[in-house]
Structures are given as C-alpha cells and as structure tokens.
C-alpha cells in the first residue's frame, strides 16, 4: 500500500497525514506492507517532505515576512550535483505573520528571507537551487529577495551558472485580473483598495524585471506565484517546473508506484483543481498506466463519480462526512483521518 498524501491545508502536514493514514490502515489490515511517501506541490511542507527522504537539513535565521526573524529549514542534498531545496513559506509564509492577515500586512510582507536562504545555498556550494513557491504572505514581486541579494545585477551575477528552478503548480501571470495581487491578494489580507496598491507596485517593479531579462517575464505561467516571487526568479534565469513532479522525481515516486497494489493519497480539498497539476493528478496518472487502484482521502470532496472515473480514481472519501462536521474534521484532523483510513481499509478486504 503506497500512502502518498499532500498536506491537509493548515490541519496536517503531508508527513503527519501519511502517518495518520498508515496508523488507521494498519489497525484494520496489519498484514499489508505500507510504504509512506508524503508529497508536496512546492507549497508549505515542501522541505519537510524532502527531508523525510533526503539527508542534509539545514537551519538558518533569516528575515520573516514582517519585522522579526524566523528559523527557516532547507535541504542541501550532496548525493549528486549539490542541490539546495528552499521553501519560500519558511521565510515569508502566511503562517509566520503572527496573526490573521490584514491590509497592512498585505502591503508590508516581503521576501527578504528567501534571498538570504538563496545566498546561504550559494555559500554552501549549491550549483542547483530549487525554490518551492506557495503559502506566502507577501505580494512584493520578489523585490525583497532581490534586495537581500544586493539588487538585480548583483543577484544575477550571484546566480550566473546556477541551475535555478521555480517549483510551482500555479500558472497565474504577474499582473492583471488573473495576476498575483488580484487573485491571491485577498487571501493575504488585501481589501479592494490594497489590491490596487499592490497591482501598481507590481507593475512598476515588472518594468525593472523586464529590463533585466530583456523580455516581458510577467506573462510567463507561474510569474504570479507566491505574490510575484515567481516573476523575479524567472527574471534571474529561473525556469518553472511542477512542484509535484519535482517531489515525485526526488522521492522516487515512480518506483514506489510500480511496486504498489493500491495507491492511497489525499489533500485538504479534493476538487476540480486537484486534477490539474496537483499531487493527486500526478499519482493517478502514474497509477493508471499500471492499472493500480487509487483511493483518495480528503478533507472535503466536491467531485462526482463521473469526474472521479475520468481522473482514474477508484473512490474518494470525505473526512468532513466521516467526522460529521467541518469543524471536527479540522480540530481533530489526525484522529479523524486515522479513523477514516481504518474504515476504508475494512471496506477493501
């Protein structure tokens, strides 16, 4: 049984979710061999998932998204070409704001800590730097990151010859109705006036990024990821790859799927978006090629039977339905997921 969930929103990390599912499954079917392979699409949990499979976890004190410092974890993998894995949420994550986001934090939050982590990775000899985007509290277009690296020219020089990878499954551009400020600003505390302010600021900054890159980088898919941090990384020579695919590759997911009888995955909300470049869709595609059933355990399930069949999912189970309420599913997530996994395992005798 391959147990390969993503995180469940803010309730459970991917590692915790995998452990909860395994505990429940083992209780019902102790004879099954379980392989735990927590996944991530580049957002919060990216580093924790890699750390569960790779050695070389580092910790640095860097600028948080506002005025204080934070302890940020990253991974330096020296088993092949020296590769650093950085998760922007470790430095500028929404969860690091110290309270609910507000219009003030939406304007003030910055990405300086991400720049400090990139500098640390270069100091450690990384020739390849993978930056996982997602879960940020900032919409500064990566300006803070660039400033921490000494400005646009200095940042480009520092990263000259480095393979820079932007790990994100967000395809939004930098500006406009589908851009970083308009789409994600409200989730980061921005009211309508603040969204306008953020858009103006990003538009001005985009001119500098375009001048550096010699083209319009803001139109690239993923430029709007992590409050526009994607655009700055692309301007510095980065290329975007699917975060889920990077995790899959570096945790040996294909080999795990090949040996599995059943794949069990999950995430906080299983909906239409889950089927586009997210962890669940990557797993389902890999399993379908080998005719391996895929079970989804999710906080909430909004897809109907036809959509599940089309996506190659054998069955999907809702934690909210199992717990009896959304609140209980969130407040008691680990126990409820363990209990749901035990019930599902019973059904699959």
pLDDT tens, position by position, 266-325: 999 998 878 776 788 888 988 988 999 999 999 999 999 999 999 899 999 999 999 999
SS3 316: strand
Specify the long-range contacts of residues 286-293, CB closer than 8 Å, at least 24 apart.
286/248, 286/253, 286/254, 286/257, 287/257, 287/260, 287/263, 287/312, 288/312, 290/257, 290/258, 292/257, 292/260, 292/261, 292/262, 292/263, 293/262, 293/263
Regarding pTM above 0.85, the answer is yes
pLDDT confidence of residue 44: 85
Q: Which of 205, 241, 214, 209 is nearest to 225 (CA)?
A: 241
For residue 169, what pLDDT band results from cuts at 50, 70 and 90?
confident
> Is residue 77 scored above 90 in pLDDT?
yes
pLDDT confidence of residue 52: 85
Spatial separation of the C-alpha atoms in residues 283 and 267, rounded to whole Å:
12
Spatial separation of the C-alpha atoms in residues 64 and 10, rounded to whole Å:
19
Q: What is the mean pLDDT of residues 16-36?
A: 97
> Is residue 41 scored above 90 in pLDDT?
no
Which runs of E-coded beta strand occur in 205-271? 239-241, 263-270
Which domains, from first to last, does the chain contain? 2-39+252-347 (3.40.50.10350), 46-244 (3.90.1510.10)
> Is residue 349 scored above 70 in pLDDT?
no
Average pLDDT, the chain: 94
User: pLDDT tens-digit profile of 188-240?
Assistant: 999 999 999 999 999 999 999 999 999 999 999 999 999 999 999 999 999 99
> Is residue 51 scored above 80 in pLDDT?
yes
Q: Tell me which range, 52-56, 157-161, 268-272, 302-306, is most confidently predicted by mean pLDDT.
A: 157-161
pLDDT confidence of residue 278: 74
For residue 21, what pLDDT band results from cuts at 50, 70 and 90?
very high
pLDDT confidence of residue 113: 98
User: pLDDT tens-digit profile of 108-152?
Assistant: 999 999 999 999 999 999 999 999 998 999 999 999 999 999 999
Q: Are strands 69-77 and 83-87 parallel, antiparallel or unpaired?
A: antiparallel
pLDDT confidence of residue 99: 94
> Is residue 31 scored above 70 in pLDDT?
yes
pLDDT confidence of residue 216: 97
For residue 348, what pLDDT band results from cuts at 50, 70 and 90?
confident
Spatial separation of the C-alpha atoms in residues 293 and 274, rounded to whole Å:
17
């Amino acid at each position: 049984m391959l147990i390969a969930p993503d995180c469940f929103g803010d309730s459970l990390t991917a590692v915790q979710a995998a452990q909860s599912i395994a505990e429940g499954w083992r209780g019902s079917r102790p004879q099954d061999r379980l392989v735990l392979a927590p996944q991530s699409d580049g957002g919060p949990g990216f580093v924790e998932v890699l750390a569960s499979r790779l050695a070389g976890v580092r910790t640095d004190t860097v600028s948080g998204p506002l005025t204080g410092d934070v302890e940020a974890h990253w991974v330096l993998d020296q088993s092949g070409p020296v590769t650093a894995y950085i998760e922007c949420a470790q430095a500028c994550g929404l969860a690091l704001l110290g309270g609910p986001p507000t219009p003030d934090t939406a304007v003030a939050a910055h990405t300086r800590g991400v720049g400090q982590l990139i500098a640390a990775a270069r100091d450690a000899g990384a020739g390849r730097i993978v930056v996982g985007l997602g879960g940020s509290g900032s919409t500064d277009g990566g300006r803070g990151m660039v400033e921490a690296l000494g400005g646009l020219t200095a940042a480009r020089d520092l990263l000259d010859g480095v393979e820079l990878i932007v790990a994100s499954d967000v395809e939004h551009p930098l500006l406009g109705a589908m851009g970083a400020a308009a789409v994600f600003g409200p989730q980061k505390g921005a009211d309508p006036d603040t969204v306008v302010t953020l858009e103006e600021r990003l538009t001005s900054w985009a001119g500098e990024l375009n001048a550096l890159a010699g083209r319009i980088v803001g139109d690239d898919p993923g430029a709007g990821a992590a409050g526009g941090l994607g655009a700055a990384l692309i301007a510095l020579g980065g290329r975007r790859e699917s975060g889920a695919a990077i995790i899959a590759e570096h945790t040996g997911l294909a080999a795990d799927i090949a040996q599995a009888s059943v794949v069990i995955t999950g995430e906080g909300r299983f909906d239409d978006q889950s089927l586009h470049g997210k962890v669940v869709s990557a797993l389902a595609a890999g399993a379908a090629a080998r005719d391996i059933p895929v079970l989804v355990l999710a906080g909430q399930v909004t897809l109907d039977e036809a959509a599940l069949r089309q996506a190659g999912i054998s069955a999907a189970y809702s934690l909210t339905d199992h717990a009896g309420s959304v609140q209980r599913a969130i407040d008691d997530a680990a126990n409820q997921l363990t209990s749901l996994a035990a019930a599902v395992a019973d059904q699959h005798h």
